[in-house]
Amino acid sequence: MAHPAQFGFQDATSPIMEELLHFHDHTLMIVFLISALVLYIITLMMTTKLTNTNTTDAQAVEMIWTILPAIILILIALPSLRILYLMDEVNDPHLTIKTIGHQWYWTYEYTDYEELMFDSYMTPQQELTPGTYRLLEVDHHMVVPTESPVRMLVSAEDVLHSWTVPSLGIKTDAIPGRLNQTTFISTRPGLFYGQCSEICGSNHSFMPIVVEVTALKAFENWSNMMLQT
């Protein structure tokens, strides 16, 4: 869960988000080293006389500033491509959930169950209970079991939406007439919050997402209760 004055990412709750955090740290370290080198060179040029304005040919320097950036780009591109392929992998999901974006709420359909479908609306401020979050709480959580591969099928009924949960490392566009797919595995139980991340109209800010990750037994009890109501 994000908190005020937070500078970093939310805590990861899926292997993909952990990979993204490692990649962020890896890339940030490269950027930091390049920035430090550039600042050092600028400082050196401004405070010393170690410059030669008459230089017309420096093949060694040109080789260095051509090859070194290429190596740096490769060091960034290879782990990035690896994560992209990991995000598209679908390996025998235990649960498939179809989510449809509307103006301005989400519909969830558990395709492995008959008639397990519900709408999820933002909880109005006057109905919030102590300990819940304004503009983030919903009347029905999307419940999934922990340590289980979940496949999300994301679409929209009216305009563009985006189903996004930062802790899971998921941001999937919901496009009318098109079905996008993503997968995730949650490594720990808890409540994880997200929001629509595509401007979709006047109430775009009022269609939050809450993913509730529980133990398998608790998920089975919840699904049975939902099927009976």
Q: Domain 95-228 is of which CATH architecture?
A: Sandwich (2.60)
Q: Which helix (H) or strand (E) holds 196?
A: strand 190-196
Instruction: Quote the radius of gyration of the chain (alpha carbons, Å).
Output: 24
201 or 53: which leads in pLDDT: 201
pLDDT above 70: residue 112:
yes
Measure the CA–CA gap between 208 and 66, rounded to whole angstroms.
47
Q: Are 191 and 222 in contact (CB under 8 A)?
A: no
What is the domain partition of the chain in residue ranges? 15-88, 95-228
- pLDDT score of 55 more than 80: no
Q: 4-51: per-residue pLDDT in tens?
A: 777 778 888 899 999 999 999 999 999 999 999 999 988 988 888 777
Per-residue pLDDT tens over the stretch 153-173: 999 999 999 999 999 999 999
- Residue 81, pLDDT above cutoff 80: yes
CATH number given to 15-88: 1.10.287.90
Write out the two tokens for 76. 């960034």
Q: How far apart are CA 188 and CA 205, in angstroms?
A: 27
- Cβ atoms of 165 and 109 within 8 Å: the answer is no
Question: Cβ(145)–Cβ(214) under 8 Å?
Answer: yes
pLDDT of amino acid 181: 93
